[in-house]
């Protein structure tokens, strides 16, 4: 076993959340300004214990004593089973830390587990590909979210913009011209699981109108991908705003998110929408160099507790 370290980015869903649960496509992009990092440090020979250190939470505990649903422990055990089944190995400390805000739709759980999978696999001399990492992390996502579509683990493990359809191989795609997003937090924690369950109950009560909204969202996603690949990111704006309206109709917005979306638009954003599970968490606004500062100020005045700026489509992304 060797010392190893690995990182993984956060993510935002550009368009398609909720409808993606019903087979429609969604687009998600990595947010590289925030990162989760995992470090594996082998312990001296003769020590077989495995320790987990969650630095941000100030917690250190033995793997053997971890809660059965602890995602870090589940990720570590899965990697040990897959990469070194039955092997005798020295003890080690698996230390994680993250700058990704938690419980706000930025994929912090999936990112931490992705970093753990990569670091531990590397320490065991292996380098699983993005698909294998994504599959392992999906197992941990299920602990937290019930039946997640898998979009978080996919975009984070691939580290590239992805066109994602549940149950199909993801399609990483190229953003031909970069664009700028502001990601603003309502400060409200909202469990994705609850919003997903409420949409399901509403869809079961009134299948036709809900199905029509899912289909309409799918059409927006396909159009958005075409614009991004053609180097027309500004065309995303109206599609985002329309997607927000449809998400409101799916009952997953809230007054705080609507206020941020309205404020962004009034301040000159090309488009804005909630991102992720909704009912709180984050929204995104498409901005340009000329409007970014003004929109950021407007978002803070409208109640955003944090605003992150990110650029999508730089380098090879």
Q: Which residues in this chain contact ligand PMV in the complex, by CB under 6 A?
A: 13, 17-18, 20-21, 105, 145, 148-149, 151-152, 192, 196, 276-277
Q: Which is nearer to ligand PMV, 19 or 123 (CB)?
A: 19
Q: Which is nearer to ligand PMV, 70 or 152 (CB)?
A: 152
**At closest approach, how far in Å is the CB of 4 from ligand PMV?**
27
**At closest approach, how far in Å is the CB of 86 from ligand PMV?**
34
3-state secondary structure the chain: CCCEEEEEEEEEEEECCCHHHHCCCEEEEEEEEEEEEEEEEECCCCCCCEEEEEHHHCEEEEHHHCCCCCHHHHHHHHHHHHHCCCCCCCCEEEEEEECCCCCCCCCHHHHHHHHHHHHHHHHCCCCCCHHHHHHHHHHHHHHHHCCCCCHHHHHHHHCCCEEECCCCCCEECCCCCCEEEEEEECCCCCCHHHHHHHHHHHHHHCHHHHHHHHHHHHHHHHHHHHHHHCCCHHHHHHHHHHHHHHHHHCCCCCHHHHHHHHHHHHCCCCEEEEECCCCCCEEEEEECCCCHHHHHHHHHHCCCCEEEEEEECCCCC
What is the residue whose two structure tokens read 């969650």? Answer: 54
**At closest approach, how far in Å is the CB of 49 from ligand PMV?**
33
Provide the CB-side half-sphere exposure for 271 (13 A, CA).
Answer: 21
Q: Which is nearer to ligand PMV, 91 or 277 (CB)?
A: 277
Closest-by-Cβ residue to ligand PMV is: 276
316 is catalytic: no
Q: Are 184 and 285 in contact (CB under 8 A)?
A: yes
Q: Which is nearer to ligand PMV, 95 or 154 (CB)?
A: 154
**At closest approach, how far in Å is the CB of 120 from ligand PMV?**
23
**At closest approach, how far in Å is the CB of 308 from ligand PMV?**
14
Q: Which is nearer to ligand PMV, 114 or 149 (CB)?
A: 149
Q: Which is nearer to ligand PMV, 20 or 75 (CB)?
A: 20
**At closest approach, how far in Å is the CB of 227 from ligand PMV?**
21
Q: Decide: residue 206, CB within 10 A, 0-12 exposed, 13-18 middle, 19+ buried.
A: exposed
What is the residue whose two structure tokens read 């700028």? Answer: 180
Catalytically annotated residue among 49, 56, 152, 215: 152
Catalytic residues, by residue number, are 152
């Amino acid at each position: 076993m060797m010392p190893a370290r690995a990182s993984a980015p956060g993510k935002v869903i550009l368009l398609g959340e909720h409808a993606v649960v019903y087979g429609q496509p969604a687009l998600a992009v990595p947010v590289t300004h925030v990162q989760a990092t995992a470090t594996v440090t082998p312990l001296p020979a003769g020590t077989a214990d495995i320790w987990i250190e969650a630095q941000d939470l100030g917690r250190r505990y033995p793997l053997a004593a971890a809660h059965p649903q602890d995602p870090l422990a589940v990720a570590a055990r899965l990697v040990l089973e897959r990469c070194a089944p039955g092997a005798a190995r020295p003890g080690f400390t698996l230390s994680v830390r993250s700058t990704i805000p938690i419980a706000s739709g930025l994929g912090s759980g999936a990112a931490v587990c992705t970093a753990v999978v990569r670091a531990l696999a590397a320490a065991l001399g292996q380098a699983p590909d993005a698909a294998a990492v994504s599959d392992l992390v999906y197992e941990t996502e299920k602990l937290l979210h019930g039946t997640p579509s898998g979009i978080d683990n996919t975009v984070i493990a691939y580290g590239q913009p992805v066109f994602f359809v549940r149950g199909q191989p993801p399609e990483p795609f190229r953003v031909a011209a970069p664009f700028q997003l502001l990601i603003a937090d309502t400060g409200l924690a909202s469990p994705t699981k609850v919003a997903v369950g409420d949409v399901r109950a509403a869809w079961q009560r009134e299948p036709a109108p809900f199905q029509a909204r899912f289909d309409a969202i799918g059409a927006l996603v396909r159009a958005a991908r075409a614009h991004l690949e053609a180097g027309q990111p500004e065309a995303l704006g109206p599609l985002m705003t329309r997607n927000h309206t449809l998400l409101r109709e799916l009952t997953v917005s809230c007054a705080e998110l609507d206020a941020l979306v309205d404020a962004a638009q009034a301040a000159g954003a090309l488009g804005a929408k909630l991102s992720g599970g909704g009912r709180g968490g984050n929204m995104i606004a498409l901005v340009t160099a000329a409007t970014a500062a003004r929109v950021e100020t407007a978002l803070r005045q409208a109640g955003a507790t944090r605003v992150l700026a990110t650029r999508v489509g730089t380098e090879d992304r």
